[in-house]
Amino acid sequence: MSEIKRFDIYRLKGKLGELRDWMKIRNIPPGLLFFLMGIISTAWFLIRVIPKPSRAAYPCMKVAAPFMSGFVVYLLSLGGAVVAFRKAGQNLYRSRYFAAFLFVVAAAAALAVSLTRGSLELSAASVQATGPDDGPNQPMGVAQGANPGRVVWVWNPDATNENCVSNFDRQDWFFKPENTNSKVVSEMVRNSLKALTGKKNIPDSWDVLFKTHNLRKYGKATTYKKGQKIFIKINQGTSRLGLTREEKENGFYYPTTLKPGEERRKEIFGATETGPYVVLELLRQLVNEVGVDQKDIGVGDPMTDICGHNYEVWHAEFPDVVYTGKFSDKHGRTLIKPTEKDLLFYSDKTQSDKLYDVLENADYLINSACLKPHMSAGITLTAKNHFGSQARENAIHLHYALMVPIGSKPLNVGYRKYRVLVDLMGSKYLGQNTVLYLVEGLFGGGSSETRAPVKYFMPPFSNDWCSSIFVSQDQVALESVCFDILRTEWNGKNKHDPANNASEDRPNLNGVDDYLHQAADRANWPEKIIYDPDNSGKPLPSLGTHEHWNNPRDRQYSRNLGKKAGIELVTIPDSLVGNKANKKRN
């Protein structure tokens, strides 16, 4: 992809980057932001470099310099236009028409330079590619899991109510019991784990999951031991955004009525997030079949609180499980707190973060995300789910490393760029402490991650709810499969429910899977970036295998085609993959 290299404000690091983020959070207009950052970058460069010219080679100065020079060119061109117009007026007054004409032309040219789209935009691309750079069946990385690279996709249209509309006026939310067949969902989760491990029952399946995880992490294939802590990381981010203080104090339930003037609040309810029944089945398996004590299991989204509609289902059956709360210990929640020290160190060396105590103390994580596009990242799955695991008030400080750092323009597309998602996947407290990766796709997300689910068009969904569950021990492989589904569905041509279709092509931004390339193989890392989120001095190994299926109809990956590398997609029913798939499971 060819790009015009201009003033890329999102590459600013350190104090300048912090100042940029501060202004962005306060909704300072882009034009004013341009002027302020131009002035500050110029002053910063001069103050730092004039006393010691060698500082011009510092990375922060290399980023600030083009922004400064572009700003200076803008000022010179604007100033030149003013001078030229003044000269034109003087010559016109003296009846020197030809000279006046020349000055008008010069002024117009200077004004065009100062106002050109490329000069005022903070970053722009003249030609933008779409979709991934790598073609079908080009596996990279080292496959993980007891059955390396295996991803299981279970689809059953009976899991969801096709008549569900999920909106405020009808109060017909997707998470309501009448819209999900909990018995079917339980069977889907059970079948997915047995297919993933190759075992015939749930206790043996979890035994494989624990042993495989511990072999990789500790070098010993030990199973779960009594007293070890398990934390189920769910996706519940909007509970902190859309609810009023009164609604939070009443147990984090959605309102059934709105006050006058609150009509716009309708849009923010019913976001595609964790529902009750997949997690309920996980709790049943862990407590009733694996023998984990309820008090040794935690459930939550650390940055926020669990919605009331989820809590009431889980707590009714498992009252002694630890249900976490960020803001309150009322309504049966257990208040969590940030770690004492920073535990997550971003590999571009610009910042670090605390996590939460429940993550630091967990022996195992289960990462339960949702299937949906994302307006800034392109897609949001298990890796992006950990934006809610760092302990700041929000995750806006991490957006500079996504496709769309600010606003709606994709200013950070392409490959071999620093991607914060790789650090989250590689953290010993997060991605590398995860015994099971799960993507809940019962109700697939619309174009905005903070809005309601929509029905999908691609087969087998065929204008119905997705009714799917995806699991794997290989996080890279799992996200690769879900990415192929999302980029096929959100292709810029389909027209989804207007309730949530503001952008039909976000998953097809060029470079959405850049983080998967980098998580799979360090050969794809950006220059001068060494991923080491634990600050251990040891670069990350391959975190899994990445590739794309051969086509959206057959959905075959390399291992489905008889190769000994790459992804194996196992589906229930097996008709979801071409005729060489699912030939024989271990």
Domain coordinates in residue numbering, the chain: 9-120, 140-576
Provide, rounded to the nearest whole percent, the portion of the chain with pLDDT above 90.
Answer: 72
**pLDDT tens digits, one per residue of 174-207:** 999 999 999 999 999 999 999 999 999 999 999 9
Q: How many residues does the chain have?
A: 586
Structure tokens at 1: 């992809």
**What is this structure's pTM?**
0.80
Torsion of CA 88, 94, 99, 101, to 10 degrees: 50
Q: Mean pLDDT throughout 366-376?
A: 98
Average pLDDT (86-108) is 63
What's the mean pLDDT in 297-320?
97
Tens digit of pLDDT for each residue in 507-534?
A: 999 999 999 999 999 999 999 999 999 9
- Candidates 438, 484, 380, 460; CA nearest to 193 is 438
* pLDDT for residue 71: 62
**3-state DSSP helix/strand/coil % of the chain, to nearest 5:** 40, 10, 45
Pick the CATH number of 140-576 from 2.50.20.20, 3.40.50.620, 3.40.30.10, 3.40.50.11440: 3.40.50.11440
C-alpha distances (whole Å) from 136 to each of 119, 344, 571 are 38, 34, 19
Q: What percentage of the chain exceeds 70 in pLDDT?
A: 78
Cβ burial, residue 107 (10 Å; 0-12/13-18/19+): buried
- pLDDT grade, residue 39 (50/70/90)? confident
Give the separation between CA 157 and CA 573, rounded to whole angstroms.
Answer: 11
Determine contact, residues 446/421, Cβ cutoff 8 Å: no
Q: What is the pLDDT of residue 241?
A: 80
Q: Give the confidence band of 585 by pLDDT, cuts at 50, 70, 90.
A: very low
Strand partners, 141: 545
pLDDT of 430 above 60: yes
What is the arithmetic mean of pLDDT over 431-438? 99
Task: Spell out the long-range contacts of 322-329 with Cβ–Cβ below 8 A and sequence spacing 24 or more.
Answer: 322/295, 322/297, 322/298, 322/358, 323/298, 323/299, 324/298, 324/299, 324/300, 324/358, 325/300, 326/240, 326/302, 327/240, 327/248, 328/248, 328/249
User: How many other C-beta atoms are found inside a 10 Å radius of the C-beta of residue 116?
Assistant: 12
Range name among 12-26, 29-43, 381-395, 532-546 with the lowest pLDDT average: 12-26
Average pLDDT score, the chain: 87
Query: Per residue in 486-502, pLDDT tens?
Result: 999 999 999 999 999 99
